[in-house]
Amino acid sequence: MTFKLSRQQLQLLTVGIIAALLLVGAISWKAYGLSADMSPREMRDAITATVDYQAILFVNLLIGFSTLLMIMQLRGDALRVLLTVGVALIFGYLMTMLFNLDASVVFSRGEFRVSLLSDAVPLTSINYGDELTVELNDPRAETPITEVTHHFTGTAGDVVSVLAFGAERRSKLNMQLTLLDNAGNVLQENLDADDAQKRTFRRYLQSDGDAVVEGFVLPATGFYTIIAKPEADTADVNAEFTLALLSDNAPPVTLAYGSDPVGGIFNKEKTDAPLTTATYKFSGGKGDMVTILAYAFRGETDLDLQVTLKDANGEVLAANNDASAEQVESYRPQLKSTQDAIIQNVILPADGIYTITARPEPLSSSAQLRETVRATNKAYDAFLFGPLSRLNRWVIWIRDALTLIMLGLAVAIVFRAEQFSLGSEGQLYFGALVSAIIGLYFGNVPKTILVPMALLSAATAGFLWGLLPGALKAYLGANELVSTLMLNTIATRFYEMVLTFQLKPPDAGYTSSEWIPNNGLLAPIIDVNGDQITIAVFILIALVLLAWVMIQRTPIGYEIRMIGANIKFANYGGVNTRRTIMLTMAISGAIAGLAGAHLAMGIHRKLILNISVGLAFEGVVVALLARNNPLVVPFTGLLYAYLRTGAQMMERDANISAEVVRIIQAVVILLITAEALVSLFQQRRMKQRDKLMSSQGDTPAPAEGGA
């Protein structure tokens, strides 16, 4: 076989080598965790400090080589494949944006607190539900208390009861109560509670001397004054008494100077009526200087708050969206970021009830869009660069790629003969089952014998499970699509049955087999904290080469290609189409069986339920992208596995469902298989070329190869 490169091939080779080297460099750079500010010496140390760094370099070189092969094999089509993936990625980006349309919700969701600070003496000193205990006539005090005056805020129509009673059961105190309005008019007075009242307020009233104002209906909204003092006969008695203000109505004010912060959760998820605005009231005296803080509770939320202060008439006195950096500094620990809001040192103009409104800051649509794009970019960053961000993710990528490449090869071979067999899934299950059973039951056989034996058995199982639909198709004309779909389910159920009833240890909590003993596992060449890349790499290289040689350089490969091109022609040409179709499907099954063995012996190291969730369908995408060319499958398998791993990272890091990748997958399939799409463009290009040529009178350029 002579090997002579034409100029065009030489150009391609150059482009390919450059692309491959760039890719190897970029991936290695990330995998070894290098950065631009390292000195060459540091870089060398970083590389040699990485576990199995030679093997990593080897695998990366293989990736580069697969790229070179792809470019050399697909030529012009390589561009189309990459373009399709690019278009699909853009589509996926738009989808991710759809996911992130509500990304800005993080600014309006979360737990918050509102604090009211003031040095002023509070205008009111008692609130609904309060019980205040005071010692009268304390001889030790400098100015003994002889009477108590309290102010409270009430809403018109509230029903209040005021009680004054001795703190001890046998208190000698005899109290009297006066309720006044803001102007000082006496509304009600009481000296002693009667028996009925004592029964009603049994919890509170202790003795005959206690006083009560029962069930008083407040005539207007405003301030009221309570005066409690001992009646004249016990004016000098030193004793404690308690003043209680009771009402079933909601207190008109919920905040007081320096009281504990109040708050809640804005836009809590999964609630029927999420809180969007929080309103609090407080009683303010004229000239009081108040400071209001509204802040996200617990620092890690992105909640962005705004706060408004209104007076009793609803006039806005002050409002704030964001605290300044100095304000944040001076009001630590409450304020944590400038997204918190603060109304600082406002002097109240009059006595009255003031309203504080706290709510998430409304966002402009441009800000929302910006946030959506930001979140999408973050997600796509995880998607596109996630697999390289850590070495174990790199391992997961390569490991999954190995399985996918094997499946891609399996699918490519049958698709080459235009047989739409989707049986790889079932063949994979059987391969996994058989290899694991051999590993589990012959664990003491030396590795050098056991591993080839397990692999061979897996391949045989897959071969036979592929032979079946092959024979059905070839000799009975049974639709291979339907029969393979049926056989997939049968294989899956059979696998589940054997796993559940035979392999599962009786005491195991969940359905899985025991660990396959070390002798039955593929030997690792890279091991990053238990995530391994195994010698399956070498098996795969051999498989790719064998598949290529089989298709391109053997009689059966020639027959496969002929059947794929035109089965009737192949038949007339003397090809035993039946035998070839059957064999093609069986060989594809053998490779799929090996993929199953890789899952069992290389990745999971035991059998689990759902060992493959539709992996075979992904093998279809891999084969399609590679245009069913075994030499291109490694690259497309790597590419596709990269997207898959990236999607997992995106799901983990950015909380975007990996479903987006399925959509990308669908778009890729539709665009790649749409043959007419290409000819549409080609026709246009040819027309343009014709126009150019006719205008220049040039000789027609030789037709491009490939396509």
Nearer Cβ to another protein (207/483): 483
486's CB contacts (< 8 A; 6+ apart) are: none
Alpha helices in 118-233 (DSSP H): 195-200
CA-CA distance, 68 to 64, in Å (whole number)?
6
Per CB under 8 A, the list member of 477, 505, 697, 700 interacting with another protein is 477
Q: Is 300 helix (H, G, I), strand (E, B) or coil?
A: coil
Count the alpha carbons within 13 Å of 131 in the hemisphere toward its beta carbon: 11
Min dist CB 105 to another protein, Å, is 9
Min dist CB 23 to another protein, Å, is 28
Which pairs with CB-CB distance under 8 Å and at least 24 residues apart come from 476-482?
480/419, 480/420, 480/421, 480/423, 480/585, 481/420, 481/421, 481/422
Map residues 71-110 to x or -, x wherever contact with another protein holds by CB under 8 A.
Answer: ------------------------x--xx-x---------
Pair 554, 416: CB distance under 8 Å: no
Q: How far is CA 111 from CA 282, 360, 617, in A?
A: 21, 11, 45
Per CB under 8 A, the list member of 501, 530, 574, 700 interacting with another protein is 501
CA-CA distance, 349 to 286, in Å (whole number)?
5
Given the rule CB under 8 A, which of 130-138, 142-150, 440-448, 652-660 is the region that contacts another protein?
Answer: 652-660
CA-CA distance, 380 to 296, in Å (whole number)?
29
Nearer Cβ to another protein (673/694): 673
Min dist CB 655 to another protein, Å, is 10
Query: Is residue 472 involved in binding another protein (CB under 8 A)?
Result: yes
Q: How far is CA 527 from CA 16, 30, 51, 56, 644, in A?
A: 30, 17, 7, 10, 21
Nearer Cβ to another protein (34/608): 608
Given the rule CB under 8 A, which of 136-144, 177-185, 397-405, 492-500 is the region that contacts another protein?
Answer: 492-500
Query: Is residue 695 involved in binding another protein (CB under 8 A)?
Result: no
Query: Is residue 507 involved in binding another protein (CB under 8 A)?
Result: no
Nearer Cβ to another protein (348/641): 641
Per CB under 8 A, the list member of 202, 270, 332, 568 interacting with another protein is 270
Nearer Cβ to another protein (55/663): 663
Min dist CB 662 to another protein, Å, is 3
Min dist CB 486 to another protein, Å, is 4
CA-CA distance, 611 to 516, in Å (whole number)?
15
Query: Partners of 277 in the beta sheet?
Result: none
Pair 467, 589: CB distance under 8 Å: yes
Pair 131, 201: CB distance under 8 Å: no
Min dist CB 1 to another protein, Å, is 34
Query: Is residue 657 involved in binding another protein (CB under 8 A)?
Result: yes
Map residues 580-599 to x or -, x wherever contact with another protein holds by CB under 8 A.
Answer: --------------------
Q: Is 88 helix (H, G, I), strand (E, B) or coil?
A: helix
Per CB under 8 A, the list member of 141, 542, 545, 666 interacting with another protein is 666
Query: Is residue 269 involved in binding another protein (CB under 8 A)?
Result: yes
The DSSP code sequence of 373-397 is HHHHHHHHHHHHHHHHHSHHHHHHH
Q: Hey, how many other C-beta atoms are within 10 angstroms of the C-beta on 261? A: 15
Per CB under 8 A, the list member of 130, 138, 361, 496 interacting with another protein is 496
CA angle 696-701-704, nearest 5°?
140
Q: Name the nearest CA neighbour of 634 among 58, 68, 87, 29.
A: 68
- Assign residue 532 a region (left: φ > 0; alpha: ψ between -120 and 50; beta: otherwise): beta
Nearer Cβ to another protein (35/479): 479
Nearer Cβ to another protein (516/616): 616
Locus of tokens 């836009």: 267
What are the structure tokens assigned to 587, written together? Answer: 């060989």
Nearer Cβ to another protein (38/482): 482
Map residues 407-426 to x or -, x wherever contact with another protein holds by CB under 8 A.
Answer: -------------x-x----
Per CB under 8 A, the list member of 87, 373, 490, 608 interacting with another protein is 490
Query: Is residue 481 involved in binding another protein (CB under 8 A)?
Result: yes
Q: Which residues from 213-232 bind another protein, rule CB under 8 A? A: none
The DSSP code sequence of 45-69 is HHHHHSTTHHHHHHHHHHHHHHHHH
Per CB under 8 A, the list member of 22, 674, 686, 692 interacting with another protein is 674
Q: Is 524 helix (H, G, I), strand (E, B) or coil?
A: strand
Min dist CB 475 to another protein, Å, is 8
Given the rule CB under 8 A, which of 151-159, 310-318, 534-542, 654-662 is the region that contacts another protein?
Answer: 654-662
Q: Widest CA span of the chain, in angstroms?
A: 130
583's CB contacts (< 8 A; 6+ apart) are: 470, 556
DSSP classification of residue 361: P
Q: How far is CA 434 from CA 37, 92, 406, 451, in A?
A: 51, 38, 17, 12
DSSP classification of residue 234: G
Nearer Cβ to another protein (146/679): 679
Map residues 132-171 to x or -, x wherever contact with another protein holds by CB under 8 A.
Answer: ----------------------------------------
How many residues interact with another protein (rule CB under 8 A)?
48
Nearer Cβ to another protein (311/653): 653
Q: Which residues from 606-625 bind another protein, rule CB under 8 A? A: 617, 620, 624
Query: Is residue 483 involved in binding another protein (CB under 8 A)?
Result: yes
Query: Is residue 707 involved in binding another protein (CB under 8 A)?
Result: no
Binding site for another protein (CB under 8 A): 95, 98-99, 101, 269-270, 420, 422, 472, 476-479, 481-483, 485-487, 489-490, 493-494, 496-498, 500-502, 617, 620, 624, 657, 659-663, 665-667, 669-670, 673-677
